[in-house]
Amino acid sequence: MSPRWNARLPLLVTATILLLLFGAAGLMYPYFFSTGNAVNILTAQSSVGIMAVGLTLVIFAGGIDLSVGAVAGCATILVATLVERHGVHPVVAAAAALAAGATFGAGMAVLIERFRQPPFLITLAGMFLARGCAFWISTESVEIRHPFHRQLVDFMMQLGPVGVHPLPLLIFGAVLLAGYVLAHHTRFGRNLLAIGGSESSARLMGLPVSATKIAAYTLCGLTAALAGVVNTFITGSGNSIYGTGMELDAIAAVVIGGTLLTGGRGQMPGTLCGVLILGTIKSALDFDGRLDAAWTRIIIGTLLLGFILLQRLLLRRLERR
Amino acid sequence: MGEPRPRFWRRSPAVWPLAGLLLLLAVNVADGLREGRNFLSVTLQDGRLVSPVIDIVKNGSYGLVLALGMTLVIATGGIDLSVGTVMAVAGGWAARLLLDGHGAATAVMAALAAALACGLVNGLLVAGARIQPIVATLVMMVAGRGLAQLLTGGKVVQIPPGGFQWMGHGLIAGLPVAPLLVTALYLVTWAGLRRSAAGLFLEAAGDNPTASRFAGLATGRVRCLAYVGCGVCAGLAGLIKISDIGSADPFGMGSTMELDAIFAVVVGGTALSGGRLCLLGSFFGALLLQTLTVTMFYLGVPSAVAPVPKAVVIIAACLAQSETTRRWFARLKPGRAA
């Protein structure tokens, strides 16, 4: 088989599984194949999706960021308190949250790079730091009543028979597109994959390893904060416990999408497929109602494992050639 | 070998967490004096010794067990992110069995067996399927949480009163059972590792798996066993926890304990890169963490904000141990460049 085919295989497998899952769910539950449900899945997954795009960049370079869920939670409560308690305009508050997220990501990256610490450890500590900060800002959920923000929350569009909440979808789409271009059509993206493939080779080739990695973590922090901001557009409130466990969903989406957790190999469109697979599973379990919500976690875990084993097999075959 | 052996305080990495622990205790004593409490007081009430210090050790006992298991895994160069989830699985399973009228012994055995199975799966994935430890145990962390919810029927299970409570509330000579049990476990593990070749095997497997395999060591089996040990420890921690609080919460139980355990081990001088292990350090590290939590409580830091100072201490401890920092120190003292 050609190397091109081998590189695309994980993505093809993922896309096939998505189609099979979606088709099976559609046959089993009436109304699953409806514009309304498709829109619901996309809207519900938009925050995880945005987060997963940033995370994909970090994982391309062989890193990991466990703090994304906590950063998103911190961003929602930051926006809400800034708007409600300090009278800041929502746009300014959102910008502040994005800047905070990016700075946070950059700070962690500097520690990881400068002090040669394992990324999972620093970002795990970062997860606690961000979550603690969120609780420090407010332990209760804060509703955003600013008229401009309310307008954004209530902004609906008619798509055929169903009302669509376009803002989260548009932002998700834009982030995904930007991530795709950045990952697959720029020097930055190729550097990321080169670093993930072999950091020492990338360094010997004269690539700006540290700067590229720090940029990736910064973008990841930015998208995590954006995921939080988008969530305030959906719920109209900020909540410091938002995003608990979301980092696992995001990582699962990236890995199911065929991106190698060791770095160096992966596709941004795969991440979209991963996000949609998670959304389809959750939606199907909702439709079914007989199965416990606990099964979501077990199924996601099993899928994750299956994909990782598949990747190992593929890699072993690639190495043998 | 003409040089004299360096003194204990310079040789053992356990000195640092011990120093931190003493410092925190001093802070607590000072704070207590300011408010008219005696932090170091020990009184006898109804045959039970009561003291803030004993409370720390008692409430820190699950952290101590987790740190013990995590030390084994980290010594092999791995990591186990699933310990909190395994706590919830073992605790939830035991609570369910007790609720269904089974005896305490059956529940304990079944829970430990479940924890062992989780550890074995982790070990097989890491050592057998060669999946990165972070990823393999992350899968267990996600899927295990669902398993715990299934075992408990998705709700918090109250434990009926009975012999099982002894683990969390029983007394031996006026002292709580759990910390004594945990200390005994540490001693047994220490003896097992240091009075036999087992400790050397663990460190060799972590230091250089290829070299130790060529030297005839069954590296895979050693690594797998480390995860099994870690799983059993996590199961024991879950049992102590549910026995102590009287209910098993499949959602929240142990949800941030993995970081605590890793922290205790790293502060205790066991390198995250593997190949070095210090049980005494992990012991002091876990106590240090519990004391830090208590100190923040006494100083009036809200419990929800408590992760912030914890995270700061963790990052500081990791940075202090890093090569870069050591090089800086070496440059400061040119006479003793390492």
- For testing the chain B interface, which of A48, A120, A131 should be mutated: the one with the most B CBs within 10 Å? A120
Name the average pLDDT for chain A. 87
Q: What is the per-residue pLDDT across B175-194, written as a single tens digit (0 to 9) for each?
A: 788 888 888 999 999 888 88
Using pLDDT thresholds of 50, 70 and 90, give the confidence band for residue A55. very high
Q: Is residue A92 part of a domain?
A: yes
- Note whether A261 contacts B135, CB cutoff 8 Å: yes
Residues of chain B positioned with their CB less than 8 A from the CB of A281? none
Contact A129 B307 (CB under 8 A): yes
Q: Single out the residue of A125, A124, A114, A101 nearest to residue B312, CA to CA.
A: A125
| A115 part of a folded domain | yes
Element (H or E) spanning A296, and its range? helix A294-320
Decide if A296 touches B, using CB distance below 8 A.
Answer: yes
Residue B7 lies in a domain: no
Dist CA A245 CA A257 (whole Å): 19
Tokens of A196: 């993930």
Look at the block and give the residue holding tokens 């007790």: B98
- Nearest-CB residue to B315 (from A118, A125, A251): A125
Q: At residue A93, does pLDDT exceed 90?
A: yes
Cα separation of A300 and A282, whole Å? 10
Measured between beta carbons, the chain A residues lying within 8 angstroms of B145 are 297
- If pLDDT is split at 50, 70 and 90, which confidence band does B4 have? low
Residue A1 pLDDT > 70: no
Query: Largest alpha-carbon pair distance within chain A?
Result: 63
Residue B29 lies in a domain: no
Whether chain B has a CB inside 8 Å of the CB on A251: the answer is yes
A93-102, A169-178, A197-206, A284-293: least confident range: A284-293
Strands A157-159, B247-248: parallel, antiparallel or unpaired by DSSP?
Answer: unpaired
Average pLDDT rounded to a whole number, residues B141-165:
83
CA atoms within 13 A on the CB side of A48: 26
Test A294 with B147 for CB contact under 8 angstroms: yes
Q: How much is the pLDDT for A287?
A: 80
pLDDT digits (tens, 9 = 90+) for A208-266: 999 999 999 999 999 999 999 999 988 888 888 888 778 888 988 998 888 888 888 88
Q: Is pLDDT of B20 > 90?
A: no
Residue A212 inside a domain? The answer is yes
* CB contacts, 8 Å: B150 with chain A: 292, 294-295, 298
Cα separations (Å) of B239 from A103, A221, A321? Answer: 41, 38, 50
Reference B121, options B138, B135, B140; nearest CA is: B140
Q: Enumerate the residues of chain B whose CB falls inside 8 A of the CB of residue A289.
A: none
Model-wide pTM > 0.90: no
Query: What is the number of CB-based contacts under 8 A between chain A and chain B?
Result: 123
| Interatomic CA distance for residues A110 and A211, integer angstroms | 9
Cβ neighbourhood burial of A40 (10 Å; 0-12, 13-18, 19+): middle
Q: What per-residue confidence (pLDDT) applies to A5?
A: 67
Q: What average pLDDT does the structure give for chain B? A: 82
- The percentage of residues in chain B with a pLDDT greater than 70, rounded to a whole number, is 93
* In chain A, % of residues over pLDDT 90: 41
Q: Is residue B329 part of a domain?
A: no
pLDDT value of position A275? 93
Quote the minimal CA–CA distance from A108 to chain B in Å. 10
In the prediction, which pLDDT does A50 show? 96
- Residue A1 in any domain: the answer is no
Among A57-61, A104-108, A176-180, A262-266, the least confident range: A262-266
Expressed as residue numbers, the domain containing A227 is: 7-20+33-316
Domain tally for chain B? 1
Note whether residue A201 is domain-resident: yes
- Given A252, A297, A308, which is nearest B145 (Cβ)? A297
How does DSSP assign B239-305, residue by residue? HHHHHHHSEE-TTTTTTTHHHHHHHHHHHTT--TTSS---HHHHHHHHHHHHHHHHHHHHTT--TTT
pLDDT at residue B15 greater than cutoff 50: yes
Residues B239 and B94 sit within 8 Å (Cβ to Cβ): yes
Tell me whether residue A223 is in a domain: yes
Residue from the list A125, A293, A297 with its beta carbon closest to the beta carbon of B311: A125
Measure the CA–CA gap between A178 and A176, rounded to whole angstroms: 5
**How far off is chain A from B274, nearest CA to CA, in Å?**
12
pLDDT at B58 over 80: yes
Our CA dihedral for A55, A59, A64, A65, rounded to 10 degrees, sits at -10
For B311, the closest chain A residue by CA position comes to A125
**Total domains, chain A:** 1
Tokens of residue B104, six digits: 């305490």
List of residues 6+ apart from A147 with CB closer than 8 A:
none
pLDDT in tens, B84-116: 999 999 999 999 898 888 888 888 999 999 999
Predicted pLDDT of residue B2: 45
Nearest to B143 among A115, A292, A297 (CB): A297
pLDDT at B62 over 80: yes
Residue with tokens 């497929």: A273
Angle between helix B83-99 and B133-151 (nearest 10):
20
**pLDDT, tens digit, for every residue of A122-152?**
898 898 899 889 988 888 888 888 888 888 8
CATH at residue A81? 1.10.3470
Which residue has 């940029």 as its token pair? A215
> A29 in helix, strand or coil?
coil
Among the ranges given (A54-68, A183-197, A236-250, B45-59), the one the predictor scored with the smallest mean pLDDT: B45-59
Using pLDDT thresholds of 50, 70 and 90, give the confidence band for residue B1.
Answer: very low
Q: What amino acid occupies position B272?
A: L
**So what's the pLDDT on residue A52?**
95
Q: Is residue B163 part of a domain?
A: yes
Q: Is the pLDDT of residue B124 over 80?
A: yes
Q: Is B250 exposed, middle or buried (0-12, 13-18, 19+ CB in 10 A)?
A: buried
Q: Examine the pLDDT at A178 and tell me if it is beyond 90.
A: yes
Burial class (CB in 10 A: 0-12, 13-18, 19+), A234: middle
Nearest-by-Cβ selection for B143 from A126, A129, A302? A302
Average pLDDT over residues B51-58: 80
| Sign of the CA dihedral running A245, A249, A251, A255 | positive
Q: Domain of B195: which CATH number? A: 1.10.3470
The answer to whether residue B19 sits within a structural domain is: no
pLDDT of residue B337: 45
Chain B positions touching A136 (Cβ under 8 A) are: 304-305, 308
Per-residue DSSP letters for B231-251?
Answer: HHHHHHHHHHHHHHHSEE-TT
Nearest to A312 among B131, B141, B319 (CB): B131
Range from A95-104, A221-230, B12-21 carrying the lowest mean pLDDT: B12-21
Residue B302, pLDDT > 80, answer: no
Checking if the pLDDT of B264 tops 90, the result is no
pLDDT of residue A81: 93
CB within 8 Å: A124 and B262? yes
- What integer pLDDT is reported at residue B338 of this predicted model? 43
Longest pairwise C-alpha distance within chain B: 68
Phi–psi pair at A174, nearest 5 degrees = -65, -45
For residue A159, pLDDT over 80 is answered with no
pLDDT above 90 for B305: no
| Interface contact flag, A121 B130, Cβ < 8 Å | no
DSSP A215-278: HHHHHHHHHHHHHHHHHHHHHSEE-TTTTTTHHHHHHHHHHHTT--TTSS---HHHHHHHHHHH
Q: Looking at the predicted structure, is the pLDDT value of residue B289 above 90?
A: no
pLDDT of residue B333: 66
